[in-house]
């Protein structure tokens, strides 16, 4: 009966040994620092390789833009996933959804999906390229959010140019 009261009152975390299920999963999935660095490097290099390969295949007649859209999107996913090895998946997702990055993250993910839709479903290569450019800009804006005052500097630079 006490267990039921704890659960209904929200004071029970669902574990018998005092640690929550998320904490136990996090402890079970921890990697050594060297393994984290290797995973980061492998995924980051794979992401850069896919993006460069896609850019090289862009000029192949007929199928080039579709292949580019897929490889570029896979490259962005790999590059984004590479940081999960450094900080962990939960912290990465919290960081991506932080108020200063939420809009850039949402635009990047929507453009990623729209890139693939334009390449395969709508078969519109021009639209796929447009979404790749928007994906790149959103990913750049997302990345700049990690550098202190970088976004402010970019805004100031563009305001001076215009």
Calculated CA dihedral for residues 31, 35, 37, 39, nearest 10 degrees: -100
Give the model's pLDDT for residue 7. Answer: 47
Domain that holds residue 49: 31-83+91-161
Q: What is the pLDDT of residues 36-54, one digit of tens each?
A: 899 999 999 999 999 999 9
Counting the structural domains of the chain, the total is: 1
Q: Residues in the chain, how many? A: 162
Could you say which residues of the chain have pLDDT below 70? 1-29
Give the model's pLDDT for residue 58. Answer: 84
Give the model's pLDDT for residue 28. Answer: 57
Classify residue 77: in a domain, yes or no: yes
Classify residue 18: in a domain, yes or no: no
Classify residue 3: in a domain, yes or no: no
Q: What is the pTM of this model?
A: 0.74
Give the model's pLDDT for residue 24. Answer: 61
Nearest to 91 by CA among 36, 15, 10: 36
Classify residue 70: in a domain, yes or no: yes
Ordered DSSP codes for 41-63: HHHHHHHHHHHHHHHHHTTSTTT
Classify residue 21: in a domain, yes or no: no
Classify residue 2: in a domain, yes or no: no
Give the model's pLDDT for residue 12. Answer: 54
> 98: phi > 0 → left, psi -120 to 50 → alpha, else beta; which?
beta
Nearest to 82 by CA among 109, 140, 43: 43
Distance separating alpha carbons of residues 160 and 64, to the nearest angstrom: 37
Give the model's pLDDT for residue 39. Answer: 92
Classify residue 157: in a domain, yes or no: yes
Classify residue 1: in a domain, yes or no: no
Distance separating alpha carbons of residues 49 and 12, to the nearest angstrom: 47
């Amino acid at each position: 009966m006490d267990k039921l009261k704890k659960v209904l009152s929200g004071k029970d975390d669902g574990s018998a040994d005092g640690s929550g299920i998320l904490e136990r999963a996090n402890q079970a999935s921890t990697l050594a620092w060297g393994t984290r660095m290797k995973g980061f490097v492998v995924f980051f290099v794979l992401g850069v390789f896919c993006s460069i390969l896609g850019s090289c295949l862009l000029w192949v007649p007929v199928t080039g833009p579709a292949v580019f859209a897929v490889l570029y999107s896979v490259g962005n996913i790999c590059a984004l996933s590479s940081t999960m090895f450094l900080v962990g998946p939960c912290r990465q997702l919290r960081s991506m959804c932080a108020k200063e990055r939420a809009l850039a993250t949402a635009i990047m993910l929507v453009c990623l999906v729209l890139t693939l839709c334009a390449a395969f479903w709508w078969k519109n290569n021009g639209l796929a390229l447009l979404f790749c450019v928007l994906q790149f800009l959103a990913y750049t804006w997302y990345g700049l959010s990690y550098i202190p005052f970088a976004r402010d500097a970019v805004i100031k630079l563009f305001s001076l140019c215009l």
